[in-house]
Amino acid sequence: MTYLIIKLTHIFSVFIYGGFLFTDNLFLSKIKKDISEKEHTKVREYFMQYVRKVVPKSLILAVATGIYLIYINFGTIGEDGLTNFQILLSIKAFLGLWLGLRGVLQVFFKIQPLVFKSHIFPFALVVIIIALSQIMFAV
């Protein structure tokens, strides 16, 4: 039962983080074409004031629950080395930890990323992580 609760918490927190990236990349960036720069700045800041309250906490929760899920699901390394599942899970974990570290440094320590300043790259990583999570059980 604990595993199920942690897994659902993980999925829900990833949904919040990914939903923010989805909204920012596919909607907020596109309305810039339809409204003035001043209006866009105002709309984006209004949106971000709510995002800053929820998304960083959900990102930390996603990373923490993800670490637990990796611990439970990774299994032992056999004599033949890592299985395909373990390789894909490791890639997924690396990308998730990178996003989590980037988010924590940016939000809580005000360290801005030197590269990938937009949300396009994190959005792409989330899409890759979701794809990996769907195919890693089939390989």
**pLDDT band at residue 114, thresholds of 50, 70 and 90?**
low
3-state SS assignment for residue 81: strand
Average pLDDT of the residues in 47-76? 90
In the 8-state DSSP scheme, what is residue 61? H
Most trustworthy range by pLDDT among 29-38, 94-103, 110-119: 94-103
Give the residue from 84, 88, 90, 56 showing the smallest Cα distance to 71: 90
In the 8-state DSSP scheme, what is residue 78? B
User: What pLDDT is stored for residue 26 in this prediction?
Assistant: 84
Long-range contacts of 20-24 (CB under 8 A, 24+ apart): 20/51, 20/55, 21/119, 21/122, 21/123, 21/126, 22/123, 23/47, 24/119, 24/123
Looking at every residue in the chain, the average pLDDT score rounds to 88
- Is the pLDDT at 30 greater than 90? The verdict is no
pTM of full prediction above 0.85: no
- Is the pLDDT at 115 greater than 70? The verdict is no
d(CA 37, CA 41): 6
**99 φ, ψ (degrees, to nearest 5):** -60, -40
**pLDDT band at residue 46, thresholds of 50, 70 and 90?**
confident
User: What pLDDT is stored for residue 34 in this prediction?
Assistant: 85
For the chain, give the percent of residues with pLDDT over 90: 39
Average pLDDT of the residues in 102-108? 82
The answer to whether 8 and 65 are in contact (CB under 8 A) is no
d(CA 31, CA 26): 9
**pLDDT band at residue 116, thresholds of 50, 70 and 90?**
low
